[in-house]
């Protein structure tokens, strides 16, 4: 232990049991990535172009869209490069970046989902005071708080992970760098980072999930008290998209962390669902479940056609 060497790079083993299928994986991941970018670009353009969508709900949706672009770009481009060049290496700086941004955007999405649940709670349970409570100053503070908190969380975990000594081996049994796979390679006691990671990535999401659940219990109670069937349908419709996104976010991670006996192949598949498939599906979910967004997209398409 006297001659500790800081490894200059790590080796990512990738997705298990996929040797010989690099071309198929490359095409599949590239298609998912491009569809994600296209879907987010179209929805964001439609929201910005239509003044009727300049409301708190769509303001938070735009924040979520920016977060999805970042999430899709953390691991996919590097994985595509490795598949194309048949190389499995990632530099120390690249590994640090993946750890930081994955943790940053993961906790930011968690907090944004919680803020959006609160927005829906105020809109349905206190409709007459909605514009007073959810004014633009409050929305800006809530959105900024999620990003700042996410960056603070990621800075702590990344600093703890990469102040540990890494003497070798440098093989990460995963397809990207994250705190736990990286910390397992450290040649020092990892008790502190494991404790902090459990608190940040376990307790905080549990609190957020509890707050979201509480919000929707109040929302359901308010919907059931409505006299108008049309009012109940409209209120439920505004929450359906957000509930689906919350399920796609919390579902995979709850499965991974509550079922430690799952095989590595299943865990990787569930992780891919949350990290690669969900960012592509979420824009589609908000579009298909929302007449206003569909109308804005149609209007945007008509404007482009006219311009030509």
| Ordered structural domains, the chain, with CATH | 9-301 (1.20.1070.10)
In the predicted structure, residue 3 carries a pLDDT above the cut 70: no
Kindly report the pTM of this predicted structure. Answer: 0.85
With b for 16 or more beta-carbon neighbours within 10 A and e for fewer, the 92-119 pattern comes to bebbbbbbbbbbbbbbbbbbbbbbbbbb
Chain segment 132-146, per-residue pLDDT in tens: 999 999 999 999 999
Kindly report which listed range (31-35, 73-77, 269-273) carries the lowest average pLDDT score: 269-273
pLDDT at 198: 76
Question: 184-216 pLDDT, tens per residue?
Answer: 888 888 888 878 877 777 788 889 999 999 999
Give the range with max mean pLDDT: 7-11, 105-109, 295-299: 105-109
| pLDDT at residue number 112 | 93
Res 141: pLDDT: 95
Q: What is the percent of the chain with per-residue pLDDT over 90, rounded to a whole number?
A: 19
pLDDT exceeds 50 at position 305: no
Neighbours of 50 (CB within 10 A): 17
- pLDDT confidence of residue 115: 94
Across all residues in the chain, what is the average pLDDT? 82
CA dist., res. 223 & res. 225, Å (int): 5
Higher pLDDT, 217 or 264: 217
């Amino acid at each position: 232990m006297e001659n500790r060497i800081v490894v200059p790079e790590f080796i990512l083993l990738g997705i298990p049991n996929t040797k010989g299928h690099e071309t198929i994986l490359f095409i599949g991941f590239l298609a998912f990535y491009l569809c994600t970018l296209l879907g987010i670009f179209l929805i964001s353009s439609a929201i910005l172009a239509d003044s009727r969508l300049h409301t708190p709900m769509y303001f938070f949706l735009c924040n979520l869209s920016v977060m999805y672009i970042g999430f899709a770009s953390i691991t996919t481009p590097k994985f595509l490069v490795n598949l194309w060049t048949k190389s499995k290496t990632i530099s120390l700086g690249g590994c640090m970046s993946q750890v930081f941004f994955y943790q940053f955007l993961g906790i930011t999405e968690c907090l944004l989902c919680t803020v959006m649940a609160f927005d829906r709670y105020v809109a349905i349970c206190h409709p007459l005071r909605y514009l007073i409570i959810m004014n633009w100053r409050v929305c800006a503070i809530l959105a900024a708080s999620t990003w700042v908190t996410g960056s603070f969380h990621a800075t702590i975990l990344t600093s703890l992970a990469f102040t540990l000594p890494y003497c070798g081996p440098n093989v990460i049994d995963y397809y990207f760098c994250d705190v736990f796979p990286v910390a397992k390679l450290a040649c020092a006691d990892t008790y502190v980072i494991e404790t902090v990671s459990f608190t940040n990535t376990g307790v905080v999401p549990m609190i957020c999930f509890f707050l979201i659940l509480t919000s929707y219990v109040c929302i359901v109670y308010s919907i059931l008290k409505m006299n108008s069937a049309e009012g109940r349908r409209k209120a439920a419709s505004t929450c359906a998209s957000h509930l689906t996104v919350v399920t796609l976010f919390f579902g995979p991670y709850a499965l991974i962390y509550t079922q430690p006996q799952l095989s590595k192949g299943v865990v990787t598949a569930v992780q891919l669902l949350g990290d690669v498939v969900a960012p592509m599906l979420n824009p589609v979910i908000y579009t298909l479940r929302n007449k206003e967004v569909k109308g804005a997209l149609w209007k945007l398409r008509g404007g482009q056609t006219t311009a030509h």
